[in-house]
Amino acid sequence: MSIPQSGGGQIEHYDQLAEYLSSGNKPREDWRIGTEHEKFGYCKDTHKPLPYEGARSIQAVLEGLRDRYGWAPVAEAGKLIGLEKDGANVSLEPGGALELSGAALETIHQTCDEVNHHLSEVKDIADEFGVGFIGLGAAPIWQHDEMPLMPKGRYRLMNDYMEKVGTMGRAMMRRTCTVQVNLDFGSEADMVQKLRVALALQPVATALFANSPFFEGKVNNHKSWRSKIWRHLDDARTGMLPFVFEDGMGFERYVEYALDVPMYFVYRDGKYINALGMSFRDFMKGELPALPGEVATLSDWADHLTTAFPEARIKKYMEMRGADGGPWRRLCALPAFWVGLMYDQNSLDAAWDLAKGWDAETREALRVAASVDGLQANVNGVNMHDLAREVLAISEAGLKARAMPGAGGLVPDETHFLNALKDSIDSGKVPADELLDRYHGDWNGDLSRIYEDYSY
């Protein structure tokens, strides 16, 4: 979950909203990669989730990272709720999952080094407390009441609101994890093409990274239960954004969409003010019931943009949001997959050629089928396994064209980060399939084995 934004004066005219988004335009040489991933923490002896406070807790892990590795603390209302260092931050998801939001880096080599370094630090601290961390799309066994709500004002407000919209909002908050990548765009036209590709092909990422076939201790008959949860969260702020594929799409059209998303909060003086269900349009006119007479600022707009949760979204950059959290290798594969598609024009064009003939119903059906069946999904003659093979080949070509070397020049490009995905294409199995094989095989239905066998 995002941290409060700062800076930016009062919004004096409507055009500032689109100008905020377009200010993210960057020349190609300045395009960067930001990788985020979440993981569940648990006590190794009991397999129970970590509380916020105590000898074995999220707070203890944060304090360990702060004291041993020089991370700067981030506090809210006197509670340690995050860390910052070198352009990256560590934050808490509502149910206590630990998230690394990586720095904006130039290559997949760098972002993978960052991920590896972070997981090594976390393991070093966690091992001392008898704590483990595991990468999955959804908590496999824990019930809702076992998951503590972290001490962040934003989460308290969201927790209450989620009871009023959809059916699975609170499950999303406390019992799901993702890996995502944030990428740049060069112009409005570039943003539009990238966002269309990101949304249309997000089901391919959902299928390839599907890693949540268990929930509340049972097989749930979905390869990505996390994706199912997001489909039943809040229709006003989730989904595949059909308008993006219509004529006239641009920054202003996205602004109209975001203005229609009901508000959650306003952040003032270190506190979250309840604005649940209110209108940002009213806020711009000084008519927000939560703050009568006060007019929205650009930092309020930046905060509001973080409360829309479509499968891909834009702020001053673009976020790919359709993948389950997962094993170590796939944390590097996700940014490689999207960078290969997005940062080479030939690959971006080829990716759009694959998807441009689909209508909104097909895109949505692919989203659902990917969640249920993974690579075995079939929609209107589109075979997900075949589609994923084509998309992966396009991504690999894009990474080859980028020709970003690593390991001091010994590795010529970034294509090897796709190897985990190539293995899935070759075998037809994604992580969810492997987990199900273990569950029905050597685990003999003992789902607790997942912690020992799949933790970082």
Three-class SS of residue 430? coil
CA distance 198 to 342: 9
**Cβ(111)–Cβ(332) under 8 Å?**
yes
DSSP code, position 455: B
Tokens, residue 9: 């004066």
Domain containing 98: what range? 25-234+312-454
Cα torsion 275, 279, 280, 284: sign: negative
229 part of a folded domain:
yes
282 part of a folded domain:
no
100 part of a folded domain:
yes
292 part of a folded domain:
no
70 part of a folded domain:
yes
pLDDT grade, residue 6 (50/70/90)?
Answer: low
**Cβ(49)–Cβ(136) under 8 Å?**
no
Q: How does pLDDT run across 61-81, given as a tens digit for each residue? A: 999 999 999 999 999 999 999
For residue 38, the model assigns a pLDDT of 98
Q: What is the mean pLDDT of residues 76-89?
A: 97
DSSP code, position 277: T
**Cβ(288)–Cβ(266) under 8 Å?**
yes
As for how many domains the chain has, the answer is: 1
Strand partners, 223: none
11 part of a folded domain:
no
Q: Which alpha helices (H) appear in 31-187, and where do they start and end?
A: 58-69, 108-129, 153-161, 169-175
64 part of a folded domain:
yes
Q: What is the DSSP string of 361-384?
A: HHHHHHHHHHHHHGGG-EETTEEH
Q: How does pLDDT run across 111-154, given as a tens digit for each residue? A: 999 999 999 999 999 999 999 999 999 999 999 999 999 999 99
Q: How does pLDDT run across 325-337, given as a tens digit for each residue? A: 999 999 999 999 9
Q: How does pLDDT run across 396-434, given as a tens digit for each residue? A: 999 999 999 999 999 999 999 999 999 999 999 999 999
83 part of a folded domain:
yes
CATH code where residue 430 lies: 3.30.590.20
**Cβ(168)–Cβ(79) under 8 Å?**
no
CA dihedral in degrees (365, 371, 374, 376; nearest 10)?
-40
